[in-house]
Chains A and B, each alone.
Chain A
Amino acid sequence: QQQVKQSPQSLIVQKGGISIINCAYENTAFDYFPWYQQFPGKGPALLIAIRPDVSEKKEGRFTISFNKSAKQFSLHIMDSQPGDSATYFCAASSDTGRRALTFGSGTRLQVQP
């Protein structure tokens, strides 16, 4: 029940295209859903996060869509750029362990020029 399932495992997108990564969770106690971006040799960095009281959050080219009834959330990267090539992780936590994130397995995104 603690799992967060992430797909796809890898993704190749052309420059200017839309990258979409999906996650699903089972634990209904989860109430915080961040996305992290990780470049090789670096630690993950927070990209954007959402709480279940909203269905969508947008920050620049990055948008999270959240479907509470389906227990799913997704990251959309608009106008994908080669600099976006990285591994993306979805995650979730509850108020009993706010910093004890449960991470998805990661999506390796490659944006081709």
Chain B
Amino acid sequence: KAGVTQTPRYLIKTRGQQVTLSCSPISGHRSVSWYQQTPGQGLQFLFEYFSETQRNKGNFPGRFSGRQFSNSRSEMNVSTLELGDSALYLCASSLDSHGGEKLFFGSGTQLSVL
């Protein structure tokens, strides 16, 4: 079974631009969560989507948004990029049933904002 796939692997943007990151969950997984990982703040929860609806949201500004498609694939968008948005963005998928708390992470998208 293929794991969680995130594209692109690396991304370089400049301040003020916007960016879209993509995540394909494990087949059969309907929940997709996004996390931001930085050396200073560690791993922080961004949001979770299930059945195309945002189910939970972390403490991030509105510049961070996401969506989920009917095939469970998800995208996250960051608008008006700031230098502090440079981070590894991780997507995780999970079942929405017994054992659904187990998150399967992708390898992430490394975003650099210049």
Contact = CB atoms under 8 A, between A and B. Distances in A.
Q: Identify whether the interface residues of B are mostly helix, strand, loop, or mixed.
A: strand
B83 interface: no
Nearest to A51: B101
A42 B101 contact: no
A43 B107 contact: yes
B32 to A, nearest CB: 9
B48 A43 contact: no
Contacts, number: 59
A24 B92 CA distance: 24
B102 interface: yes
Interface residues of A, number: 23
Contact of B33 (A34, A45, A100): A100
B45 A102 contact: yes
Interface of A: 32, 34, 36, 41-46, 49, 89, 91, 93, 97-106
Interface of B: 4, 31, 33, 35, 42-45, 48, 56, 58, 90, 92, 94, 100-108
